[in-house]
Amino acid sequence: MRAIAIHSRDTSPAAPAGIRAHAACEPPRLIERPVPTPEAGQVLIAVSACGVCRTDLHIADGDLPLPHSPVIPGHEIVGRIVALGTGVTGFAHGQRVGVPWLGWTCGTCAHCLRGEENLCDDARFTGYQIDGGYAEYTVADARCCFALPDAYDDAEVAPLLCAGLIGYRALRMAGDAPRLGLYGFGAAAHIIAQVALWQGRSLYAFSRPGDDSAQAFARRLGATWAGASDALPPVPLDAAILFAPVGALVPAALRAVRKGGTVVCAGIHMSDIPSFPYSLLWGERRIVSVANLTRRDGEQFLALAPQVPVRTEVTTFPLADAAEAMARVRDGRINGAAVLVMDGLQQAGLQ
């Protein structure tokens, strides 16, 4: 099968000191691999679509260390089950399933026992420790797979699996916030904006200064206000969710929320947060992070999405063009989400 892999660069002692973090990996490239065999509890999936998430860029750019080399990224996987390992229940041959970032949990650590499997001490992640969906086939732990709502085609549903699920968890963390700010108006924000509006919240969208296209996109989706991330909204916000991985946005968002307001950091990686005066946090403002997802988040969100209905805006790329898709996400040259589709499916209407 064909797959896109990220290899670590040769880090021989000859490498110059102070080598930049993003030199840690080679550019993503196409490789040939045998089709994997599902072990007990796993399903083998013929992948039809896989979303490109910012976390994939953090892996490719060396912001997150490679757990091994090479890594096949991709954790917004949509495909059909073509083989079942022993002991799999609840799924059938031929069924369409989705695979998210949380790919394996131990079930026995204190967090798992509390139902916080998103915080599992030994959690393994799809497209990171576990080979992901930038590939024609992948294996996944059946306990982490989701049945997918029929209302979406394969490319449309892919972004729901990370941008949607983790965005939804972030939205829940924001609490009952009628005036909600979203910093970074990419794949996750464009999904969560629709849910927030449907819930009757008013939306304030922040994007990179000068990114008129993202601001227009936010207004088109129904944002009350859209502006630059260094601007203050016209009214104090009840909560703000940071989807952009920029630490400097934490004090910016604290400035924008009212006393008692919450700032939710939704990304898995963020640049360092600059120091800021305590007065910004004072007044019972809170900063929280969101880690991964629980099975419950996934089931709730995938049931909710067709009711809203959440519409995803996707730009599709063939698997071989993964590097180009990633570059466009990195540069903010995608409105909505980038999705890789496997050969033959793009022309065939993604059956």
Which residues contact Zn ion by CB under 5 A?
Answer: 53, 55, 105-106, 109, 112, 120, 162
Residue 218's nearest CA partner among 236, 230, 206, 201 is 206
Considering the complex, what minimum distance in angstroms separates the CB of residue 127 from Zn ion? 8
| Maximum C-alpha span of the chain | 58
Q: Which is nearer to Zn ion, 173 or 254 (CB)?
A: 173
- CA pair distance 36, 156, nearest whole angstrom: 26
Structure tokens given for 298: 């996934």
CB neighbours of residue 65 within 10 Å: 11
Residue written as token pair 């000191």: 17
Q: Which is nearer to Zn ion, 77 or 223 (CB)?
A: 77
Considering the complex, what minimum distance in angstroms separates the CB of residue 178 from Zn ion? 28
Q: Which is nearer to Zn ion, 49 or 252 (CB)?
A: 49
Considering the complex, what minimum distance in angstroms separates the CB of residue 186 from Zn ion? 11
- DSSP H or E segment with residue 191: helix 187-198
Considering the complex, what minimum distance in angstroms separates the CB of residue 52 from Zn ion? 9
Residue 339's nearest CA partner among 73, 159, 98, 100 is 159
Q: Which is nearer to Zn ion, 49 or 53 (CB)?
A: 53
Are 44 and 36 in contact by the 8 Å Cβ rule? The answer is yes
Considering the complex, what minimum distance in angstroms separates the CB of residue 336 from Zn ion? 15
Q: Which is nearer to Zn ion, 52 or 341 (CB)?
A: 52
Strand partners of residue 265:
242, 289
Strand partners of residue 25:
8
Considering the complex, what minimum distance in angstroms separates the CB of residue 55 from Zn ion? 4
Q: Which is nearer to Zn ion, 30 or 109 (CB)?
A: 109
